Amino acid sequence: MTDTTSQPIPPQNKRNMFQQLELDVRLLGMIGAFVILCIGFNLVTDGRFLTPRNIFNLTIQTVSVAIMASGMVFVIVTRHIDLSVGALLATCSAVMAMTQTEFLPHVLGLGLNHPLTWVLTVVVGLATGTLIGAFQGWMVGYLTIPAFIVTLGGFLVWRNVAWYLTDGQTIGPLDSTFLIFGGTNGTLGVSLSWILGVVATVLALLTLWNSRRAKLAHEFPVKPLWAEGVMALIVSGAILGFVAVLNAYEIPTRRLARLFEARGEVMPEGFTQGYGLPISVLILIGVAVVMTVVAKRTRLGRYIFATGGNPDAAELSGINTRLLTVKIFAIMGFLCALSAVVASARLANHSNDIGTLDELRVIAAAVIGGTALSGGFGTIYGAILGALIMQSLQSGMAMVGVDAPFQNIVVGTVLVAAVFIDIVYRKRVGAK
Amino acid sequence: MATPKELRAQGATPMVEMNNISISFGGIKAVDDVSVDLHPGEVVGLLGHNGAGKSTLIKVLSGAYKMDSGEIRINGNKVEITNPRDARSHNIETIYQTLALADNLDAASNLFLGREIVTATGLVNDAAMEAECRKIMGRLNPNFRKFNEPVSALSGGQRQSVAIARAVYFNAKILIMDEPTAALGPHETQMVAELIQQLKAQGIGIFLIDHDVHAVMELCDRASVMKNGQLVGTVNIEDVTDDDLLSMIILGKKPGEAAA
């Protein structure tokens, strides 16, 4: 069949610089908004916002919501919703808190700080989250109860299962090895962070190179070499710059002194040490990479997006969309449990209100990050950037001294405005 | 190669036999004890009003619906088709009236949906799929250029060619076309007609669902007419006129019969 109305392809030289870089305009817009936000807060707070200390804190505060937001992308892409993530996080956190403080010491005789304690705790927590997620997914996929209802029920059920498990008490202290997942208590230090930064840069450059080679092998059009070069520079600059900033945040002297005391040593005069990359941030980066690979390069991801774009077509193509729904919610549950590890380790205890309102933050992060509630569109990096923007907004306003009610009013307004801008943008470029 | 007509005359086993198929939805018999068959290289038209049950009948063959009773035989062997994967495993491909494309994905992803080419490590091989997609589109629709855009950005004809490419790429032996020209202009309709002739010459059997009696007269070897879920009759196209077919569709009687 021919299409007589098809327009000739525009010649290469007419494309502008941004098009040659093949950058996602939407992503650029988000990064732009984020940069303006940061610079704005930095000016108002007399430079306190963009200090290594604040960037470090901002990063570790974002991790928990960002991990869940990456899972929420899959849920929303397939036209579902998960309102239970905050409550599920609480249940996982409660299960893990009880596992390490009650079950392991009293039943297996493994004390707190036993080398196996944290491993077993994390395994139990992740299994709990995955199972609950899969169960909710089964109700959505096989019993065809709308996800909104299943997870609204789950929101009440899991929040109160957590309460019941712990009698509403705050459970602590937690295992000391477990706490390294929280952020401040578990960082890589300066040299290891640099090594990782360099390795990550090399891997990123290899990925760019490989994708170009694959395109050339099939004789598809590729970007000009200068554009590849600029991309490579931006990517390596971003990775190494991030490492440099986190390394620049130095561990407070008193804390360092305590660390030396604990080892029975005396701290040398004038000794300083940077925090480096927090382990929780590494977990988030790992999640982001794995989820992006799943989304873009696996059949599972392809089916998730196909189902979101046209559920009937996916079904007619032989995709088992029911089982797919179970898998998506299981992934979501797993990530809630992972967030529970990070969140409870950051607080150094399990409190009854852990994860409260997280479901709204997670959904908002995914949506601000460009995930369309109508299904079929969304990116992992967008959702994580969305989480970062929300967290920056919140802590920036707190630094400036905006009253708590106004903080939430602003965040709510930004959410609606961001989606409106997205709708206008999508209409302009003609995408759905 | 024997023509479909000779094959029928010899009493050869048909490629597809759908025998006594019934399916009902909420008490209404959408398809009531209908039997149709198909030989290699044959085009069988399925005619009838909206709601006559032709799409439902054919969705039993493509695995989208499960029949309540009846049997399907492929080359004489009884087969179970309970989902679209089963149908595909018997080389039955379908071009749906709605095209069944995921609008947010590009042409190659749609072409290979459910049957992706993967690398040794199990990851989807987009470059290889795009290359294959470019090859087949080069044959079907040489003007097709938008390989890296979601199919929502394509024209009706381009979308149709993606759907057709998906059906013919995977060595279909049995092809189901549900109103393939409904959304097309005259020029593109002509292209589809030529394609059907080509596929027929390759020995592919085609079920063609269409409203247009003229198109059926032109393209088909036989026509089965349905009304209210029941089979009115199956006729050789060369034995009937447009009017005969029309009266079968409208009055539900075979030529020569008195009106019921």
Tens of pLDDT, residue by residue over B55-71, are 899 999 999 999 999 99
Question: Which of A1, A2, A316 has the CB atom closest to B84's CB atom?
Answer: A316
B145 touches chain A (CB under 8 A): yes
Could you give the CA distance from residue B164 to residue B206 in angstroms, rounded to a whole number? 13
Least Cα distance to A429 among A370, A375, A383, A384 occurs for A370
Could you give the CA distance from residue A192 to residue A196 in angstroms, rounded to a whole number? 6
Q: How many CB atoms lie within 10 A of CB B188?
A: 23
**Would you place residue A228 in the very low, low, confident or very high pLDDT band (cuts 50, 70, 90)?**
confident
Could you give the CA distance from residue A353 to residue A115 in angstroms, rounded to a whole number? 29
Give yes or no for residue A432 having a pLDDT over 70: no
Give yes or no for residue A9 having a pLDDT over 60: no
Quick one: pLDDT at residue A97?
A: 94
- Is A231 within 8 Å of A18 (Cβ atoms)? no
Give the residue from chain A lying closest to B164, CA to CA. Answer: A1
CA of A310, closest CA in chain B: separation in Å?
A: 5
Asked if B114's CB is within 8 angstroms of A1's CB, the reply is: no
Least Cα distance to B17 among B72, B98, B86, B94 occurs for B72
Chain A residues with CB-CB distance to B143 below 8 A: 2-4, 6
Instruction: Give percent of chain A with pLDDT exceeding 90.
Output: 56
Q: How many CB atoms lie within 10 A of CB B122?
A: 9
Quick one: pLDDT at residue A19?
A: 61
What mean pLDDT comes out for the span A356-370?
Answer: 92
List, as ranges, residues 61-80 from B with C-beta within 8 Å of A.
62-64
What mean pLDDT comes out for the span A1-20?
Answer: 48
- Tokens standing for residue A314: 């996916």
Quick one: pLDDT at residue A312?
A: 92
Quick one: pLDDT at residue A21?
A: 63
Chain B residues with CB-CB distance to A9 below 8 A: 145
**ipTM of model:** 0.88
Could you give the CA distance from residue A209 to residue A212 in angstroms, rounded to a whole number? 5
Quick one: pLDDT at residue A366?
A: 95
- Is A389 within 8 Å of A30 (Cβ atoms)? yes
Torsion of CA A132, A138, A140, A144, to 10 degrees: -150
Q: What is the CATH architecture of A24-186+278-431?
A: Orthogonal Bundle (1.10)
Least Cα distance to A364 among A407, A405, A413 occurs for A413
What mean pLDDT comes out for the span B13-20?
Answer: 92
Residue A89 class from Cβ within 10 Å (0-12 exposed, 13-18 middle, 19+ buried)? buried
A131-149 confidence digits (pLDDT tens): 999 999 999 999 999 999 9
Could you give the CA distance from residue B49 to residue B226 in angstroms, rounded to a whole number? 8
Could you give the CA distance from residue A420 to residue A390 in angstroms, rounded to a whole number? 16
Give the residue from chain A lying closest to B85, CA to CA. Answer: A318
Quick one: pLDDT at residue B257?
A: 62
Asked if B144's CB is within 8 angstroms of A302's CB, the reply is: no
Quick one: pLDDT at residue B143?
A: 83
H or E segment at B24? Answer: strand B16-25
Q: Is the peptide bond before A173 cis (omega within 30 degrees of 0)?
A: yes
B200 touches chain A (CB under 8 A): no
DSSP classification of residue A11: P
User: What is the pLDDT of chain A when averaged over all its residues?
Assistant: 88
Give yes or no for residue A10 having a pLDDT over 80: no
Asked if A316's CB is within 8 angstroms of B94's CB, the reply is: yes
B113 touches chain A (CB under 8 A): yes
Chain A residues with CB-CB distance to B141 below 8 A: 1-3
**Would you place residue B259 in the very low, low, confident or very high pLDDT band (cuts 50, 70, 90)?**
very low
Asked if B100's CB is within 8 angstroms of A317's CB, the reply is: yes
Question: Which of A293, A309, A312 has the CB atom closest to B105's CB atom?
Answer: A309
Give yes or no for residue A13 having a pLDDT over 70: no
Question: Which of A4, A316, A377 has the CB atom closest to B96's CB atom?
Answer: A316
Chain A residues with CB-CB distance to B104 below 8 A: 305, 308-310, 376-377, 432
Residue identified by tokens 């992006």 is A292
Query: Greater confidence, A97 or B257?
Result: A97
Give yes or no for residue A421 having a pLDDT over 70: yes
Query: Greater confidence, B64 or A261?
Result: B64
- Tokens standing for residue B125: 């091989």
Asked if A314's CB is within 8 angstroms of B102's CB, the reply is: yes
Largest CA distance in chain B: 66
**Which of B61, B65, B96, B104 to mutate against chain A (most A CBs within 10 Å)?**
B104
Q: Give the N- to C-terminal CA distance of chain B in Å, as an integer.
A: 41
- Per domain, the residue ranges of chain A are 24-186+278-431
Lowest mean pLDDT among A1-5, A167-171, B82-86, B227-231: A1-5
Lowest mean pLDDT among A300-304, A415-419, B126-130, B255-259: B255-259
Q: How many CB atoms lie within 10 A of CB B10?
A: 8
Could you give the CA distance from residue A15 to residue A10 in angstroms, rounded to a whole number? 8
* Amino acid at position A21, single letter: L
* Amino acid at position A425, single letter: Y
B99-116 confidence digits (pLDDT tens): 899 999 999 999 999 999
Helices (H), A218-278: 225-248, 253-262
Question: Which of A293, A299, A309 has the CB atom closest to B116's CB atom?
Answer: A299
- Tokens standing for residue A179: 């706490």
What mean pLDDT comes out for the span A351-363?
Answer: 93
Could you give the CA distance from residue A86 to residue A67 in angstroms, rounded to a whole number? 12
- Tokens standing for residue A32: 């732009």
Give yes or no for residue A404 having a pLDDT over 90: no
Give yes or no for residue B26 having a pLDDT over 50: yes
Chain B residues with CB-CB distance to A324 below 8 A: none
Could you give the CA distance from residue A355 to residue A85 in angstroms, rounded to a whole number? 8
Asked if B150's CB is within 8 angstroms of A431's CB, the reply is: yes
Query: Greater confidence, A291 or B156?
Result: A291
What mean pLDDT comes out for the span A419-426?
Answer: 83
CA of A414, closest CA in chain B: separation in Å?
A: 27
Least Cα distance to A100 among A159, A168, A179, A187 occurs for A179
- Is B82 within 8 Å of B63 (Cβ atoms)? yes
Quick one: pLDDT at residue A431?
A: 52
Quick one: pLDDT at residue A11?
A: 41
Chain B residues with CB-CB distance to A298 below 8 A: 122-124
* Amino acid at position B221, single letter: D
**What residues does B233 pair with on adjacent strands?**
B225
Determine the 3-state secondary structure of A393 from DSSP: helix
Asked if B85's CB is within 8 angstroms of A318's CB, the reply is: yes
DSSP classification of residue A179: G
Which residues of A make CB contacts under 8 Å with B? 1-6, 9, 214-215, 217-218, 220, 293, 297-299, 302-303, 305-310, 312-319, 376-377, 430-432
Asked if A1's CB is within 8 angstroms of B104's CB, the reply is: no
Asked if A298's CB is within 8 angstroms of B155's CB, the reply is: no
**Would you place residue B184 in the very low, low, confident or very high pLDDT band (cuts 50, 70, 90)?**
confident
Residue A211 class from Cβ within 10 Å (0-12 exposed, 13-18 middle, 19+ buried)? middle
Could you give the CA distance from residue A41 to residue A284 in angstroms, rounded to a whole number? 25
Could you give the CA distance from residue B37 to residue B224 in angstroms, rounded to a whole number? 9
Lowest mean pLDDT among A213-217, A231-235, A349-353: A213-217
**What residues does B231 pair with on adjacent strands?**
B226
Could you give the CA distance from residue B109 to residue B122 in angstroms, rounded to a whole number? 16
Could you give the CA distance from residue A55 to residue A49 in angstroms, rounded to a whole number? 8
Query: Greater confidence, A171 or A218?
Result: A171
B92-95 and B174-178: which strand pairing?
parallel
Query: Residues, chain B, total?
Result: 260
Q: Give the N- to C-terminal CA distance of chain A in Å, as an integer.
A: 25
Question: Which of A315, A318, A430 has the CB atom closest to B88's CB atom?
Answer: A318
What mean pLDDT comes out for the span B216-220?
Answer: 88
The count of CB pairs under 8 A between chains A and B is 123
Chain B residues with CB-CB distance to A6 below 8 A: 143-146, 155, 158
Quick one: pLDDT at residue A276?
A: 87
Least Cα distance to A78 among A277, A374, A390 occurs for A374
Question: Which of A6, A218, A317 has the CB atom closest to B113's CB atom?
Answer: A317
Give the residue from chain A lying closest to B98, CA to CA. Answer: A313
Quick one: pLDDT at residue A8?
A: 42
Asked if A377's CB is within 8 angstroms of B104's CB, the reply is: yes
Could you give the CA distance from residue A225 to residue A206 in angstroms, rounded to a whole number? 15
User: What is the pLDDT of chain B when averaged over all its residues?
Assistant: 88
**Would you place residue A7 in the very low, low, confident or very high pLDDT band (cuts 50, 70, 90)?**
very low
Chain A residues with CB-CB distance to B103 below 8 A: 309-310, 376, 432
